[in-house]
C-alpha cells in the first residue's frame, strides 16, 4: 500500500513512480539489474516523461530513442528546446537514473512512446554523465523540498537492454515486437489511484484543524450580554465545514475502493487479462480529477474559516494547500482526465448501451437508462417524489443525473456532426458537456460508495452518525448542482427548497459530534503540525510561543534598523 509522506520529498518519484514502473514494465532480468540496487538506493531514479513543450499530449513528446543495430544501443536525444525534459521530481540534483519516455525509432520507423532507463549521473561522483545536461527548474509555487528538474540529452547511448521490455520489445536486428496492448505503456494509473487517497488525507487534515480551532475560538455575540460563543455554533461556520467533514469521510471510502480496485485489476493484467484496463483507467482518471478539484477548493474553505490565524503558517493550512494543489495538474491535468473518462469510456458505454449491450462495472446504470428510454414516459413527466432521508433514493437520483448528462454530451456530439463538423470538432464543441458528464459520473460513484460502505458498519451509533454525514454529502451536492437536477427534470423548485431546509437540520444534528468525528481520523499533532489544530486545544499559548520562535525575533533590534532605517532617517 502507498504510505503517503506528510511533505513532498526528493525521493517521492523514486518511490512513487520509478520503482512501480520497474515493477510493471521491467523484464525479470531488468528487475535483477535495476530494481535491487534501486530498492537499496544505490540507483535513485525519477520518471521523466513531461517536456518543456508537452505534458498532456504524450504523442507530441519529442525526445527520440533511435536503435543502432551496429552497436546494439539506443541513442537518446533531445532534438529541440521544447523537447527538454521538464518537471520530473528529483531530477535536478537527486537522481542518478531516469526512466525516460521517448519516441522509439528502429529500422527507419517510429513506434511511439516507450520507456528507457537512462543513467544520468556518475554512481560515485554524482557528476552528470557525458551528453547529459541536467539541473533544477527553479523556484515554484511550493514543493520547495523537491528538486523538479530539467534534462537535455545530447546523443546519449544506452544498451539495448535498457529499454523496458516486459511488453514491447526490440530484437538485436532492430525488429520491433508490439506489446499485447498499446495501452500498457501509458502507465500512471498507479499514482492516479493513490492520489484519490491523498485527497481524503488532505481533507481530513484540513477539517480537523478548522473544526478543532472552531471549537476553541470564541468570537462576537450570538445573544446580547452573553459570553462570546464558539464560532462552531454559527450556522455559516457549520455550513462551511461540515460538508468538508462529510467529503473527508466519503473520499476515505473512495480512496480505499480505488486502491482495492487497482490491486485487483493490476493483478489481472499481470496474469495477462487486460479486459478491465479501460475501467481502471477511466475510474482512476475521473476520480483523481474529481477528488483533487473538490479537496483543493475545500482546503481553502478551511483556511478562510480560521480567519487571520488560518493565514499563518502556524495553522499548517497554507502548507497543506501549497503541497496539495499541484495534484490538480500533475499525473494528468484534471480537465484532460475528465475528458478521458467521458470520451474514452462514458460516451463509448452510452453508445453500447443504446444498442442493447448489458454494461458492467461503474457504468452499468447506462444500460438501465437506455432501457428506460425505450419505455413510454409517465404522463406526469414530473420529478419523482424526493426523500431527503432515504439514502438509496438519493443514490438513484445521482445515477439518473449522470445518465442524463452523459446522454446530453453524446447528443451534443451528434448534433455537432449533423451540423457538418468533423469528428474532432464535434468532440471539441461538446467538451464542456463531456466534463460535466464525467463530473456527474464520478459524483454518483462517490455517493454510491459512501452508502455502500454504511452497509458494512455494524455499530448502530457509528452507522447513525455516518448516515447523517452521507445524507449531508448527498444533499449538499444536490444543492450545489441543483441546476443539473432541475434541467434533467429530477428536482422541482419546492423540492430544492426542502433540500436546503434539510441541510440546515443536518448541520444542527452533526454539531455535537463534529469534534469527535475529526478526532476519529486519529491524526496526531506531529502529523497535523498545526498550532490551531492541536489535540489539547491550547492554541493561544502555543501560537505566542510559535511566533516567539520566529527567526525575525532572534534579536530585539533587527539589523535592518541599522542598515536601512537609521541611514534613511539621517537623510530626511
Ligand atoms: C515497490 C514499489 C514501492 C512503492 C512504494 C510506494 C510508496 C510511495 C511513497 C511515496 C510516494 C509519494 C507519491 C508520489 C508523489 C508524486 C509526485 C508528483 C508526480 C507527478 C508525476 C507526473 O506528473 S508524470 C506525468 C503525468 N502525465 C500525464 O498524466 C499525461 C496525461 N496525458 C495522457 O495521459 C494522454 O496524453 C491522454 C490519455 C490524455 C491522451 O493520450 P492519447 O491521445 O495517446 O490517447 P487516446 O486518448 O487516443 O486514447 C488511446 C487509448 O488509450 C487508452 N488510455 C489512455 N491513457 C491510458 C492509461 N493511462 N491507461 C490505460 N489506457 C489508457 C484510452 O482509453 C484509449 O483507449 P481506447 O480503447 O482506444 O478508447
Ligand atoms: C509539482 C509538479 C510535479 C511534477 N512532476 C512530474 C514528474 O515527476 N514527471 C513528469 O513527467 N511530469 C511531472 N510534472 C508535469 C505534469 O505531469 C504536467 O504539468 C501535466 O501533465 C500537465 O501538462 P502540461 O504542463 O503540459 O499542461 P497543458 O497540457 O499544457 O495544460 C495547460 C492547459 O491546457 C489544457 N489542455 C491541454 N490539453 C487539452 C485537451 N486535449 N483538451 C482540453 N484542454 C486541454 C489543460 O486543461 C490546461 O488548462 C509535474 C508537474 C508539477 C506541477
Hunting for cell 521538464 — which residue is that? Answer: 86
Q: Quick: pLDDT tens for 23-82.
A: 999 999 999 999 999 999 999 999 999 999 999 999 999 999 999 999 999 999 999 999
Residue nearest to atom 52 of ligand 1 (CA): 183
Dist. CA 427–CA 89, nearest whole Å: 34
Q: How many C-beta atoms surround the C-beta of residue 27 within 10 A?
A: 15
Catalytic residue among 323, 331, 407, 416: 331
Split at pLDDT 50, 70, 90, the class of 3 is very low
Please indicate whether residue 56, judged by its CB atom, sits closer than 6 Å to ligand 2: yes
Task: Specify the residue with its C-alpha closest to ligand 2, atom 6.
Answer: 88
Per residue in 335-389, pLDDT (tens digit) is 999 999 999 999 999 999 999 999 988 999 999 888 887 766 656 556 777 888 8
Picking from 281, 299, 279, the residue whose alpha carbon sits closest to that of residue 289 is 281
The CA distance from 83 to 78, in Å, is 5
Ligand nearest, relative to CA of residue 85: 2
Give yes or no: 559 in active site: no
The Cα–Cα gap between 24 and 119 comes to: 20
Average pLDDT of span 389-399: 95
What digits encode the pLDDT tens for the residues 515-542?
999 999 999 999 999 999 999 999 999 9
* Mean of pLDDT over the chain: 95
Mean pLDDT of 240-254: 98
Which residue, judged by its Cα, is nearest atom 36 of ligand 2?
336
Tell me the pLDDT tens digit for each residue of 136-192: 999 999 999 999 999 999 999 999 999 999 999 999 999 999 998 888 877 789 999
Which of 104-113, 265-274, 335-344 has the least mean pLDDT? 265-274
| Cell numbers found for residue 9 | 520529498
The grid cell for 65 is 530513442
pLDDT value of position 369? 87
Binding site listing: 50, 89
Ligand 1 neighbour 20 (Cβ under 6 A): yes
* pLDDT above 90 (res 199): yes
Q: What would the mean pLDDT of 120-126 be, rounded to a whole number?
A: 97
For residue 2, pLDDT over 50 is answered with no
Distance linking the first and last C-alpha atoms of the chain: 65
pLDDT of residue 188: 87
Ligand nearest to the CA of 326: 2
Q: Which ligand is nearest to the CA of 142?
A: 2
What is the atom index within ligand 2 of the atom nearest the CA of 140?
1
Answer yes or no: are the C-beta atoms of 13 and 89 closer than 8 Å.
Answer: yes
pLDDT surpasses 60 at 562: yes
Q: Which residue has the CA at smallest separation from atom 24 of ligand 1?
A: 331
pLDDT of 288 higher than 50: yes
Closest atom of ligand 2 relative to the 335 alpha carbon? 47
- For 422, the grid coordinates are 468533423
CATH of 189-357+392-406+432-517, one of 3.40.50.300, 1.20.140.10, 3.40.980.10, 2.30.30.40: 1.20.140.10
pLDDT value at 1 more than 50: no
The Å distance, Cα 161 to ligand 2 centre, comes to 30
Task: Calculate what percentage of the chain has a pLDDT beyond 90.
Answer: 91
Compute, in angstroms, the gap from residue 331 CA to the centroid of ligand 1.
6
Judging by DSSP bridges, how do beta strands 85-86 and 149-153 pair with one another? antiparallel
**ipTM for the whole complex:** 0.97
Q: Say how far apart CA 144 and CA 160 lie, in whole Å.
A: 36
Q: Measuring from atom 44 of ligand 1, which residue has the nearest CA?
A: 59
Q: How far apart are CA 457 and CA 463, in angstroms?
A: 6
Task: For helices 189-216 and 317-324, give the axis angle rounded to 10 degrees.
Answer: 160
In the chain, where the domains are located: 11-173, 189-357+392-406+432-517
Asked if 95 and 14 touch (Cβ cutoff 8 Å), the reply is yes
> Which amino acids are annotated as binding site for FAD, given as ranges?
50, 89
CATH of the domain spanning 11-173, picked from 1.10.1530.10, 1.10.510.10, 1.10.10.60, 2.40.110.10: 2.40.110.10
Flag whether pLDDT at 5 surpasses 60: no
pLDDT at 381: 58
Task: Using the atom order of ligand 1, give the atom closest to the CA of residue 339.
Answer: 39
DSSP 218: B
C-alpha 388 to ligand 1 mean position (Å): 39
Nearest ligand 1 atom, CA 5: 10
Q: Is 336 near ligand 2, meaning CB less than 6 Å away? A: yes
49 lines ligand 1 (CB under 6 A): yes
Question: Measured in angstroms, how far is the CA atom of residue 330 from the centroid of ligand 1?
Answer: 10
13 CB within 6 A, ligand 2: yes
- Kindly give the distance from the C-alpha atom of residue 186 to the centroid of ligand 2, in angstroms, as a whole number: 15
Cα–Cα distance for residue pair 424/147, rounded to 1 Å: 38
**Cβ neighbour number for residue 126 with a 10 Å cutoff:** 13
Per-residue CA distances from 309 to 415, 421, 538 (Å)? 52, 54, 14
Nearest bound ligand to CA 334? 2
CA of 335 to the centre of ligand 1 (A): 14
pLDDT at residue 427 greater than cutoff 60: yes
Q: Round to whole Å and give the CA distance between 210 and 242.
A: 10
Percent of the chain with pLDDT over 70: 97
Candidate from 13, 16, 326 with most ligand 1 atoms within 8 A of CB, to mutate: 16
Specify the range with the lowest mean pLDDT, choosing from 263-267, 323-327, 510-514: 263-267
Amino acid at each position: 500500500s502507498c504510505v503517503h509522506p506528510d511533505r513532498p520529498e526528493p525521493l517521492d518519484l523514486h518511490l512513487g513512480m520509478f520503482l512501480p514502473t520497474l515493477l510493471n514494465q521491467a523484464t525479470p532480468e531488468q528487475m535483477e539489474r535495476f530494481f535491487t540496487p534501486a530498492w537499496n538506493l544505490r540507483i535513485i531514479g525519477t520518471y521523466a516523461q513531461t517536456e518543456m513543450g508537452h505534458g498532456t499530449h504524450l504523442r507530441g513528446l519529442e525526445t527520440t530513442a533511435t536503435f543502432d543495430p551496429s552497436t546494439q544501443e539506443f541513442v537518446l536525444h533531445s532534438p529541440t528546446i521544447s523537447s527538454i525534459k521538464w518537471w520530473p521530481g528529483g531530477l535536478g540534483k537527486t537522481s542518478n537514473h531516469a526512466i525516460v519516455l521517448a519516441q522509439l525509432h528502429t529500422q527507419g520507423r517510429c513506434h511511439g512512446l516507450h520507456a528507457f532507463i537512462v543513467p544520468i549521473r556518475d554512481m560515485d561522483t554524482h557528476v552528470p554523465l557525458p551528453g547529459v545536461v541536467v539541473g533544477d527548474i527553479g523556484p515554484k509555487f511550493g514543493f520547495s523540498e523537491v528538486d523538479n528538474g530539467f534534462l537535455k540529452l545530447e546523443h546519449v547511448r544506452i544498451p539495448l537492454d535498457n529499454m523496458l521490455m516486459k511488453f514491447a520489445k526490440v530484437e538485436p536486428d532492430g525488429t520491433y515486437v508490439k506489446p499485447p496492448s498499446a495501452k500498457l505503456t501509458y502507465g500512471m494509473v498507479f499514482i492516479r489511484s493513490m492520489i484519490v487517497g491523498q485527497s481524503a488525507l488532505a481533507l481530513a487534515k484540513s477539517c480537523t484543524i478548522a473544526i478543532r480551532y472552531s471549537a476553541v475560538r470564541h468570537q462576537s455575540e450570538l445573544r446580547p450580554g452573553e459570553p462570546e460563543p464558539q464560532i462552531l455554533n454559527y450556522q455559516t461556520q457549520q455550513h462551511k465545514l461540515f460538508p468538508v467533514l462529510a467529503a473527508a469521510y466519503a473520499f476515505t471510502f473512495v480512496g480505499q475502493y480505488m486502491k482495492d480496485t487497482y490491486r485487483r485489476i493490476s493483478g489481472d493484467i499481470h496474469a495477462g487479462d487486460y479486459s478491465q484496463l479501460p475501467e481502471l483507467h477511466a475510474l482512476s482518471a475521473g476520480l483523481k480529477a474529481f477528488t483533487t478539484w473538490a479537496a483543493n477548493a475545500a482546503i481553502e474553505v478551511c483556511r478562510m474559516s480560521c480567519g487571520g490565524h488560518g493565514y499563518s503558517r502556524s495553522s499548517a493550512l497554507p502548507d497543506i494547500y501549497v503541497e496539495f494543489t499541484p495534484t490538480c495538474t500533475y499525473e494528468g491535468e484534471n480537465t484532460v482526465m475528465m475528458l478521458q473518462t467521458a470520451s474514452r469510456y462514458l460516451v463509448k458505454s452510452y453508445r453500447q448501451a443504446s444498442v442493447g449491450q448489458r454494461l458492467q462495472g461503474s457504468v452499468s446504470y447506462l444500460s438501465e437508462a437506455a432501457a428506460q428510454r425505450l419505455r413510454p414516459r409517465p404522463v406526469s413527466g414530473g420529478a419523482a417524489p424526493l426523500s431527503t432521508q432515504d439514502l438509496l433514493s438519493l443514490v438513484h437520483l445521482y445515477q439518473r443525473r449522470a445518465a442524463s448528462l452523459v446522454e446530453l454530451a453524446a447528443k451534443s456530439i451528434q448534433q455537432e456532426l449533423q451540423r457538418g463538423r468533423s469528428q474532432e470538432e464535434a468532440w471539441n464543441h461538446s467538451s464542456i458537456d463531456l466534463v460535466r458528464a464525467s463530473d456527474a459520473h464520478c459524483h454518483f460513484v462517490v455517493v454510491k460508495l459512501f452508502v455502500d460502505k454504511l452497509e458494512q458498519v455494524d455499530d448502530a451509533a457509528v452507522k447513525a452518525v455516518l448516515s447523517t454525514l452521507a445524507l449531508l454529502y448527498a444533499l449538499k451536492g444536490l444543492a450545489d448542482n441543483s441546476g443539473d437536477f432541475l434541467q434533467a427534470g429530477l428536482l422541482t423548485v419546492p423540492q430544492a427548497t426542502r433540500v436546503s431546509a434539510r441541510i440546515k437540520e443536518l448541520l444542527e444534528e452533526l454539531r455535537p459530534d463534529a469534534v469527535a468525528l475529526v478526532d476519529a481520523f486519529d491524526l496526531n499533532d506531529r502529523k497535523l503540525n498545526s498550532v490551531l489544530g492541536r489535540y489539547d486545544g491550547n492554541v493561544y499559548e502555543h501560537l505566542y510561543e510559535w511566533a516567539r520562535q520566529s527567526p525575525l525575533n532572534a534579536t530585539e533590534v533587527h539589523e535592518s534598523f541599522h542598515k536601512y532605517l537609521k541611514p534613511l532617517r539621517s537623510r530626511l
